[in-house]
């Protein structure tokens, strides 16, 4: 099986694929201070727990310190295992039609590849993570750029930290848009506010590039508000991992 590793700012997601079929998945917190040995023990423990034998590894990371530890872990614990880390020089087939291609995170490149392969273009990927990323893909599969917005959990934390009478609450849909207590007022503003933010940014992007074939919601927090987003046409939480599988196949 192929092991795919997506290291994000908040969480690290792992999944195994048998061909194009996703078989296992795990989500753990990202700690940039984790050593190669800690990563090795953690990953091997997860795989052993489900009796998984891997034949290859594909990975991407938005956290430089975690990427260094990952490289060391692979060389120590999986020295003979075929592996691909998405970085400049790795074949993805994605053209970066932006001012500075070196600024683009590897996760956005992988998302572009997977979205275009699965749904065609033009299309838009909305990735709900530490930040909410909007990635725009042309009708030829080019990465055209996008937008960043604060993530859902960052906004919850900021309100709790900066407002004296507010506290952190569960990120979930309230009973009504009109909150009847402090908790519901917080949940309403963030839940419906983020859905409205997604819809308006997508609408403006469509005004610029024309009709799109798909708007894909992904990321660990996408399930919180995706049902309220009128512009989202597909929900694929594992699109980054699917893209990693595709990159691995292109480079082996």
| Residue pLDDT tens, the chain, 252 long | 999 999 998 889 999 999 989 999 999 999 989 999 999 999 999 998 888 899 999 999 989 999 999 999 999 999 999 999 998 889 999 999 999 988 898 999 999 999 999 999 999 999 998 889 999 999 999 999 999 998 887 777 777 777 766 667 777 788 889 988 888 888 888 889 889 999 999 999 999 999 999 999 998 888 888 888 999 999 999 999 999 999 999 998
123 found inside a domain? yes
In a domain, 248, yes or no: no
Q: Which of 101, 202, 221, 98 is nearest to 150 (CA)?
A: 221
- Give yes or no: residues 75 and 108 share one domain: no
Choosing from 6, 20, 50, 107, which is the catalytic residue?
Answer: 107
Of the candidates 85, 113, 131, which is a domain's last residue?
A: 85
Residue 154 shares a structural domain with residue 223? yes
Please report whether residue 94 resides in a domain. no
Q: What are phi and psi of 60, to 5 degrees?
A: -145, 155
Q: Which residues pair with 25 in a beta bridge?
A: 15
CATH at residue 140: 3.30.420.40
CA distances from 32 to 23, 62, 181, 184, 246 (A): 27, 11, 38, 34, 26
Q: Is this prediction's pTM over 0.95?
A: no
Based on the domain organization, do 37 and 112 belong to the same domain? no
Tell me the C-alpha distance between 14 and 48, whole Å.
Answer: 14
Q: Is residue 189 part of a domain?
A: yes
Coil, helix or strand at residue 56: strand
Instruction: Assess if residue 250 is contained within a domain.
Output: no
- Residue 211 placed within a domain: yes
Q: Is 107 a catalytic residue?
A: yes
Neighbours of 35 (CB within 10 A): 12
Total structural domains in the chain?
A: 2
Candidates 54, 52, 13, 50; CA nearest to 30 is 13
Residue 58 near residue 5 (C-beta atoms within 8 A)? yes
251 within a domain of the structure (yes/no)? no
SS3 132: strand
Claim to verify: residue 74 and residue 151 sit in the same structural domain:
no
Q: Is 249 a member of any domain?
A: no
User: Same domain for 119 and 238?
Assistant: yes
Instruction: Verify that 151 and 181 share a domain, yes or no.
Output: yes
pLDDT in the model for residue 95:
94
Domain co-membership, 50 together with 175: no
Beta bridge partners of 147: 134
Q: Which of 53, 85, 117 is the last residue before a domain boundary?
A: 85
Domain that holds residue 224: 101-243
Residue 22: strand pairing partners: 17
């Amino acid at each position: 099986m192929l092991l795919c590793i997506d290291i994000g700012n908040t969480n690290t997601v792992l999944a195994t694929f048998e061909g194009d079929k996703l078989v296992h998945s795990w989500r753990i917190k990202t700690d940039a201070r984790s050593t190669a040995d800690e990563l090795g023990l953690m990953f091997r423990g997860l795989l052993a727990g489900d009796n998984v034998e891997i034949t290859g590894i594909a990975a991407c990371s938005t956290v430089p310190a975690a990427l260094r530890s990952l490289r060391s872990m692979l060389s120590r614990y999986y020295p003979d295992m075929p592996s691909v880390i998405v970085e400049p020089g790795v074949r993805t087939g994605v053209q970066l039609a932006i001012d500075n291609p070196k600024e683009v995170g590897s996760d956005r490149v992988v998302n572009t590849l997977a979205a275009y392969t699965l749904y065609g273009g033009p299309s838009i990927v909305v990735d709900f993570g530490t930040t909410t990323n909007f990635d725009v893909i042309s009708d030829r599969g080019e990465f055209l750029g996008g937008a960043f917005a604060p993530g859902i959990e960052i906004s919850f934390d900021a309100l709790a930290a900066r407002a004296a009478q507010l506290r952190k609450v569960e990120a979930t849909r309230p009973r009504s848009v009109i909150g009847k207590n402090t908790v519901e007022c917080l949940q309403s503003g963030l839940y419906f506010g983020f859905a409205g933010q997604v819809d308006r940014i997508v609408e403006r992007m469509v005004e610029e590039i024309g009709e799109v074939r798909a708007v894909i919601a992904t990321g660990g927090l996408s399930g919180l508000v995706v049902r309220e987003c009128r512009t989202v046409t597909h929900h694929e939480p594992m699109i980054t991992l699917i893209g990693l599988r595709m990159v691995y196949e292109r480079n082996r």
